[in-house]
Structures are given as structure tokens and as C-alpha cells.
Structure 1
């Protein structure tokens, strides 16, 4: 029997657990990533930063093969800038945002001192399981922003590998394979760019911001000696340090499972955005930019990122749509693991309504991937 306490997600504005959030604050977290860049642009006095802004070099920390790079719209331009003007989007853009947690056991070459620690420590890497997956669609044609959350436990066929949870695709083949898997799940939608951030980056950003104020929904207590993971948070609104924010993000023992994690991720992102727009944050700008440089991997150029920032800050909140991949929890014993089972019929309807009938952005073919693509 299906647990009656488990919620069912519909392809409508967002799961009911998010309706508890005040409507005027519900969408603020969307500016978390872009808000940081916006602070840099507004607070710095132009000069060197603006010169970097016009650079077209991607902010990549991982190398993509030609076939992998071709997955992301074959490098098509998404922005342009005129003299003395900030860059602007020139077409609809789909950006895949990935949040990863990497342990020493997840990588083949852990830090030299890892074996001496005696536990599975976090590693500053982008090669692990994706705990967070968002597909953002920026559409300058209709002046809208769509944010689609993809539950990490979604059961999919990873091309060239096996049927598994979608969060394993990054381990198998990096952002290109995640993009390909996500596209096939979502009816062939094109994915233009990706952004990956690891949990150490989130912790470092929180510390650089001086902590964030978050409402912890309930008492959270958990201990895992194998990872040195010790969670001990009390319910209520409080100012959390970086390590406490990670406790909130890594807690997973509640009745909502993967959907509960999505809700907490959104809470933290919203809090980080609010803190980043605090005037006092200007004095912390050098440290914030250093964190972005060392803990974020993306094939966006700085010019493209600035164009996305400008677009996001001008959108009316009534034109922001938050979605979750429609589906339901698997029943106990149905599979060898607990999955989020996508509803393909509802996905097709959702993609037609919000993502241009699954045609993506720059490509309208049924398969946006080159025939010789090999994720391995």
C-alpha cells in the first residue's frame, strides 16, 4: 500500500509543502546565484571588474571534450553587448544548475591526507552525486523565468549506462551526461549551459556572507560517525553559520524524503540571496568572489552570466513559475531502492506549456545530441 502521508506532485506551480512560505518571499531564492554577481557589479566601481565582464572565456574548472561541449547548444551565443551597455539575452536560454556533495570515497584521487582521517570527508570536487538539480528557463520573448526542480531520486535510463537515480549521471559522465539524461527525461528539451556548485562552496559562501538567517522547520538530530556528520538543530528562526547550513541541507530523515530536501534547499538559497543584498555585504565582496572562483564550475562566460543577472533582476515575480518534475514515490518493495517515478504524460504536458513543447532553445530536432556522443 502506498503511504498516505507521501505527497503527490502535480505539474502546477509547486508542491503543497512550499505553499506555507509567505507569497512575497516565495521566489526570492531564485536570485541567490545571480544576486552574488549582481552585488559584485553594483558595489565595485566598474574598472577592472567590468573589463572582466566583457570576457567571453567560460568560467570552467572541468574540461569538456568536443562531443560533450556540443551537448550544450554547440556553443551558440546567448547574449550580446553594445558599446557602453550591459550584455543582454538574445534568445530563450535553459541553464542546468547542479549541487554536488563529494566524499573521499567518491573520487579515485582523494587528498593525500584523506587516509589518515579515519572517516569519509568532504572533498572540494565537482564529480559526485548531484543532491540538487534545477533547470532554469530564461525567456526574453515572454519576459518569464521558469524553474524546474528535478528530484535527485528520479528513476531514469542513464544513456550508455543503466537504469538508476538521476543523481548518478554526474558520476558516470559529468555535466554533459547529466544534461543528456535530463533532456531525455524531459522530452528532448535543449540545455544551453550548466552551473555546478559543491557543498563546500555553499558553506564557504555562507561564511563569506557572515552567516544567514533561516527558519528551521523542526528539531533535527542525526549522527553519522563514518562521515563525521553531526546534525543538531533546533526548530525556529535563527542565524546559522556555514557548518550549520550544511546540517540543514544534508538532513534527510523526514516524511517528504527527496521533496523535503528540495524545500530546504530553496529555503537556504533564499536566505543567501537576502543576505547577499545586505549593504554590509560589500565589505565581504573579495572573499565572496574568491569562493565563486574556487567552488563553482560553469560553461557560462562572464558576459553571459551578467546577461542572466540583468534579466533575472528585471523580471516581475508574477512571471516566475516554480515547478517540480511530476511523478510519485515508489511503493515500499517495488524496486531495489526508493525512487521518484516520473509521470511521462504529465511531463509532456508541462514541457509543452513551459518549455516550448520540448523543443528547447536553439534546436528543434527530436534529439539535441550528436550521433557520436560518448559520455565515457
Structure 2
């Protein structure tokens, strides 16, 4: 029943690094990984919806949070990829004018056009497949993150992915243990995952239990990833709440983050990471609309483009 999948708890991890202003201390030196930003003319990016004209909102900034299973391999069109898979994708959408943030969940099964590369990074072909597989055809670090970000951008009709943060599989247990566990109430019966996960149980998850709670799913059920995403949302909320309740000295936060840093890949600078702490984040997470289908024995999540357009207009555009 169990499949190697992962919750992206990176918003919580960033809070760990940033509370009490420790972001710069931890992340100084990361700036060299940041690529020059491409100049864009937002005034030319228009969209018509329900008879009204909108333009891209230049105040929107996005960060793609990825949970990566480094051990998972992919094979697309007889081309193997061994850099891992992104089993959790969450896009943090921030409005720099209002200082508000929203998290949009993207199913790892979402159908996109994948770019398949050989070992020399030469493009071999583009073919349809699950978005989780794109990461496998990079370097397992920054290039894999950029490739995945490109697929997310295409999925969202050209919305830019400005930055990214990825957490590898082993980071789940480390993140949970370093803050002393995460307490939550199990919403329904998950005793097949762990006997302690019965409906209504209040459990304090240690690292090992947290990993099971957010990774496990019934691979025989096509919609099992949707159930897992619900648990992921719940766990992320509980983790962030735990962060807010912590009262530690600056040096303690630095020490905690140092335990997690080996599992993190990011192209964000110290100042950009510090900025994340200034936003007020909505507690509820938004899922892209669509339906689960089956192809060649695998689940595929097909996004409803028309319903997604409503989301794009609301969060990425403003009326002219």
C-alpha cells in the first residue's frame, strides 16, 4: 500500500530559518546560485475573462515548493531518468502590495508535456506524462528544479515561477524531529498506514510517523493521491502552527535549520527568503481543479482549463 511520496513542508521550514531574523545568517552565500532575472513587459500580457480585460499583476511573486523523492526513478519513452521525482508541488503566490500569500497545490499526477533529456543534457523529445517525472531528467538539484518550474509555468498558461525551494525525502523526518514533533487529529481511518492513525485520534508525530502520514497511499486506488494531498495540507498547517508556538533564541533557530539544510535546494537569496516572513498566509490551501483518469495503468490528473482560468484571473491578474 505504501508508496514513496513526500509532503512539502517547506513553508514551515522557511519559518524555522526566518523567525527572529535568522534568514540572512543561515543563507548568506546562496546568492551566487541565483540566475539573473529576465526582464518582462507585464503591460503586454493581457487576458479577457467574462467580457472584461485583465493584465498580469506585476506585484505577484511566486515560489515553487517541491518535495522530492531522490530514490524514485522514471522511464519515459524508453528514456530513463534517475534524479528523483517531485511527489509534492505547492506554489506559493504572494502579493507584494497587499503582503498576502496563498498556496496552490498541484497534483504530482498532473498531465503536462515533459521535456526528456539524455545524459549530455540534450533534448531528446517532448512527450505527455505526469509532472512529477520532469525532475528526473535534470541533475537532482537546481536544474531539476528549473525544469519542473518550467512545466508548472506552462501548466498555468505562462505564469512565471520566480523562485524554488526543494526538500528531499529524508528531510521530512529531520524537520519533524527538530521541532519536537507535530500534533494533529486524524480525520478518518488510516490504520492501514499505522495502527495509531484511527479516525479521531490525536497523535503527536515523530519523524518516522510523519513520513508515513504524508507519504503513504494506496497505489491501487486512482484517487489515493488526492487523499494524501489532504493529509499533506493538514500536516503543513499543524507544522506551521507549531512553528508559531515556538519560543527560542536566535542561536537555537540557526541550529535547528542547520539540521535541515542538507536536504534543501533553493535558488533564493538571503533577502528573498527573509521577505517570506513578512507575508500573511491564508490558512486554507487551493487545489487546481480537474479529474483523475487512468492511462496505461497509471493515474493522471487532467486539469480543468476553464475552471483554472478563474483561479488565474483572481490571483495573477487585475482588471484593466
- TM-score category of the 2 structures, normalised to the smaller one: 0.7 to 0.9
In 1, the alpha carbon distance for the partners of 2:59 and 2:16 equals: 23
| 2:177 paired with 1:207 | yes
Pairing 1:101–2:69 present: yes
Equivalenced residue count is: 267
Q: How does 1:321-336 map to 2 (within 5 A)?
A: 322-330=285-293, 335-336=296-297
Q: SS of the counterpart of 2:166?
A: strand
Contact 1:59 1:297 in 2 (8 A): no
Tell me the distance in 2 between the aligned counterparts of 1:51 and 1:252.
Answer: 38
Paired position in structure 2 for 1:158:
114
Task: Flag the 1:50–1:128 CA change in 2: closer, same or farther, 3 A.
Answer: closer
Partner of 1:176: 146
Conserved? CA contact 2:102–2:281, under 8 Å: no
Report the Cα offset of residue 54 of structure 1.
8.7
Task: Give CA deviations for 1:17-37 in whole Å, capped at 9, x if unaligned.
Answer: xxxxxxxxxxxx895233212
8 Å CA contact 1:37–1:309 kept in 2: the answer is no
Is 1:33 aligned with 2:13?
Answer: yes
User: 1:259 Cα shift?
Assistant: 1.5
**Residue 188 of structure 2 aligns to a residue in which SS?**
coil
Partner residue in 2 for 1:343:
304
> Would you say 1:238 and 2:203 are equivalent positions?
yes
Q: TM-score scaled to structure 1, two decimals?
A: 0.63
Q: Paired residue for 1:140?
A: 96
Provide the C-alpha distance between the structure 2 equivalents of 1:164 and 1:284, rounded to a whole number of angstroms.
Answer: 43
Find 1:57's aligned residue among 27, 30, 35. 30
SS of the counterpart of 2:299?
coil
Question: Pairwise mapping of residues 1-376 of structure 1 onto structure 2 (< 5 A)?
Answer: 32-41=12-21, 49=22, 52=25, 55=28, 57-58=30-31, 69=35, 73-74=37-38, 91-103=59-71, 106=73, 127-159=83-115, 160-173=125-138, 174-222=144-192, 231-235=194-198, 236-253=201-218, 256-279=223-246, 281-282=248-249, 284-310=252-278, 312=279, 315=280, 317=282, 322-330=285-293, 335-356=296-317
Question: For 2:234 and 2:304, how far apart are their aligned partners in 1?
Answer: 26
CA deviations on 1:96-138 (whole Å, 9 max, x unpaired) are: 11011222x649xxxxxxxxxxxxxxxxxx9311111011111
Q: Which has the higher strand share?
A: 2
Q: Distance in 2 between matches of 1:184 and 1:255?
A: 25
Consecutive unaligned residues in structure 2, runs of 5 or more: 1-8, 41-57, 75-81, 116-124, 139-143
Aligned-CA RMSD value:
3.2
Q: Secondary structure, in 3 states, of the residue corresponding to 1:247?
A: helix
Q: Is the 8 A contact 2:23 2:274 kept in 1?
A: no
Structure 1 residues 53 and 269: CA distance shift in structure 2, 3 A: same
Structure 2: how far apart are the matches of 1:51 and 1:95? 18
* d(CA) in 1 for partners of 2:39, 2:31: 11
What TM-score do the two structures reach when normalised by structure 2?
0.73
Deviation per residue, 1:319-369 (Å, 9 max, x gap): x77321111111x5x554211111122223321221127xxxxxxxxxxxx
Residues 142 and 275 (structure 1), Cα distance of their counterparts in 2 relative to 1, 3 Å cut? closer
CA contact (8 A) 2:17 2:254 kept: no
> How far 1:38 moved relative to its partner?
3.2
Q: How far apart are the structure 2 equivalents of 1:316 and 1:325? A: 18
8 Å Cα contact 1:93/1:138 also seen in 2: yes
